[in-house]
Amino acid sequence: MKKTILAVFAGIASLLAVGCSKSGSDTIKIGSIGPLSGAVAVYGVECKNGIDLAVEEINAAGGVKGQLLEVVAEDDEGNPEKSVSAYKKLVTKDQVKYIIGSLTSGCTQAITQSAQAQKIVQIAPAATAPAITDAGNYIFRACFIDPFQGTVGGKFAADNLGANSAAILYDIGNDYSVGLKENFFKEFERLGGRVIAQESYNTGDKDFNAQITKIKNVNPDVIYLPDYYGTVALIAKQLRAQGIVKPIVGADGWDGLTENAGEEVLNGYYSNHYATDSDSPAVQQFVAAFEKKYSKKPNAFAALGYDSVYLLKDALVKAGTNDSAAVRDALEATDGDYVTGHLTFDEKRNPIKSAVMLEMMRDVNGKLATKYNTTVNP
């Protein structure tokens, strides 16, 4: 009797062990790092929402060759040191082979060398600084880079707004802002325009009136303002308060203004990765699914997070294995249609795809919104 009971328990333990082993093998873990709190949390939260929606859809359709995706999300608060801590936790404790993140360029670059050394496939959804992928061939991004965005802004100001002169107001301590400024300047002047003022400020500044007064005195046709939405809203208020009503042009850091600004950003335009009002079936399907799940329209960070998951999923399917080297090779050969456009990678694993220009406006209910203005091709 005693032997029988022991045999039964042994059999149960064996079945449980097999069950646990099977469950583990049926899950592909994906690490996610982004600012879920802090000054730029709107970026990280929206990106995470897009990631979660994509994973939910893929798992509902059977996963990747029978394996379900599991996201392990970490909050870096937009702080590079915390990005590093999050990365170490994901790789050592959670044993992920794939990481989506971080969001800002500084946080993303803080972990690229480690990811490359440990052969962790890293996809940066929205880090636009050119040097991000320099760490090596395991580092990819879903967004276009700053030189392209700056060029798009310069071209739009000259060709679409008909501006002959421009002023630039930028954060001298922010690589994102400086990179955009430099490339806007080159393209605008290449097209025959003149940059008649370049005024800088420091990260965290709140009073820009001295710089704005200098800009007002030279009376440019357009102001280029390459920064994140919180600072853009502050500067726009002070520009309008001084009576400057000329168009303001910016880049994807403006995403988030619709929830964090007012009429001061009207007559404003910015380059972005996609437009919610596009007639693309992929965009329409994504926007409808996102609105159903979250009861709001998805911004570009949500779309880029969503695309990052599908890029990885497609590479996993093509590779036919969960080996990170094989998945890396498959990802590099990407040639497909996603929410933010048709995408292939160049030799530095930067996407080759179009940008859109969005215009700040009021919708039928008087709420601040954006509308598609034009597409600028690479």
- pLDDT for the residue numbered 25: 59
Give the mean pLDDT of 268-289: 93
Q: Sorting pLDDT into bands at 50, 70 and 90, what band is 177? A: very high
- pLDDT for the residue numbered 175: 85
Token pair recorded at residue 46: 């929206």
Beta bridge partners of 341: 338
Nearest to 300 by CA among 261, 338, 273: 273
Q: Give the least confident one: 6-20, 252-266, 330-344, 357-371.
A: 6-20
Q: Sorting pLDDT into bands at 50, 70 and 90, what band is 20? A: very low
- pLDDT for the residue numbered 284: 95
Rounded distance between C-alpha atoms, residue 166 and residue 158, angstroms: 9
Give the mean pLDDT of 225-243: 96
- pLDDT for the residue numbered 278: 87
Beta bridge partners of 362: 368
Query: What values do phi and psi take at 374, rounded to 5?
Result: -165, 165
- pLDDT for the residue numbered 257: 92
Rounded to the nearest 10 degrees, how much is the dihedral formed by the CA atoms of 326, 331, 334, 336? 110
Q: Classify the C-alpha dihedral 335-340-341-347 as positive or negative.
A: negative
- pLDDT for the residue numbered 14: 38
Give the mean pLDDT of 225-232: 95
- pLDDT for the residue numbered 129: 86
The contacts of residue 112 (CB under 8 Å, 6+ apart) are 122, 132, 133, 134, 135, 136, 139
Q: Give the orientation angle of helix 300-319 with respect to helix 41-60, to 10 degrees.
A: 40
For the cut 90, the answer to whether the pLDDT of residue 322 exceeds it is yes
Give the mean pLDDT of 64-79: 96
- pLDDT for the residue numbered 3: 40
Rounded distance between C-alpha atoms, residue 135 and residue 95, angstroms: 21
Rounded distance between C-alpha atoms, residue 155 and residue 64, angstroms: 42
Give the mean pLDDT of 326-351: 96
- pLDDT for the residue numbered 313: 98
- pLDDT for the residue numbered 127: 93
Rounded distance between C-alpha atoms, residue 158 and residue 335, angstroms: 32
| 102 preceded by a cis bond (ω within 30 of 0) | yes
Residue type, 190: R
Q: Sorting pLDDT into bands at 50, 70 and 90, what band is 22? A: very low
For the cut 70, the answer to whether the pLDDT of residue 16 exceeds it is no
- pLDDT for the residue numbered 84: 98
Cβ atoms 220, 211 nearer than 8 A: no
Q: Which residue has the higher pLDDT, 161 or 8?
A: 161
- What value does the mean pLDDT of the chain take? 92
